[in-house]
Amino acid sequence: MIHIITACSRPGNLPRIKASIPKECSWTVCLDASVEEDVTIDGVKVIKSPYTGNSGNMVKNYALNKSNFDDNDWVYLLDDDNIIHPAWYMEVTQHLNKANMLTWGQLNKNNKIRLRPVKVPRVTEIDTASYMIKWAILKHLRFHETIYEADGLMAEQVYAKHGCYTIPKYICYYNFLR
């Protein structure tokens, strides 16, 4: 199973995000403490974090701390200003048995290349949307809460101990809803 987690400070984007979520995946939305309205979405687990912050790392960590998946499950963190690329699910499911982390390339909203697929993830060369990690690994890790580039640091950390498999395709967007 693939579990998608979205740290959310922009609940107005949730309907457009939901329309892109593959029905085969579970989706958890973790609301930032700054979100004042009640949010309910059919078929989606919504939790409220006591934390806030401009990079969402504390909220992501809160959601991870509240999660209990099977070790063979995968976790994909999707920002609340993004959607799932139409080819993403079909592509990643072909490679789930190849590594503990999968990576791929990223496009801007206009379909121009933003980040190429990387074999060795590095800060500034990978984004949250361009990788996912098996729960057996991620359950022991958390995002650095005060560093904006925590997504790149997480990818570097996982790669250093567990390697990755790079899908040589562009199957995610950057800030699609901005």
Q: What structural domains does the chain harbor?
A: 2-173 (3.90.550.10)
Residue 7: name the closest of 52, 39, 72, 42 by CA: 52
**Residue 27: what pLDDT?**
98
**Residue 54: what pLDDT?**
78
| DSSP for the chain, written as a single string | -EEEEEEES-GGGHHHHHHHS-TTSEEEEEE-TT--S----TT-EEEE-S---SS-HHHHHHHHHT----TT-EEEE--TT----TTHHHHHHTSTTS-SEEEEEEE-TTS-EEE---SS--TTT--GGGEEEEHHHHTT----SS-TTHHHHHHHHHHHHH--EEEEEEEEESSTT-
Under 8 Å between Cβ of 77 and 128: yes
Query: What pLDDT tens digit does each residue of the chain (178 aa) get?
Result: 999 999 999 999 999 999 999 999 999 999 999 999 999 999 999 999 999 987 899 999 999 999 999 999 999 999 999 999 999 999 999 999 999 999 999 999 999 999 999 999 999 999 999 999 999 999 999 999 999 999 999 999 999 999 999 999 999 999 999 9
Q: What is the CA radius of gyration of the chain?
A: 15
Question: Please, how many CA atoms are within 13 Å of residue 101, restricted to the half-sphere of its CB?
Answer: 24
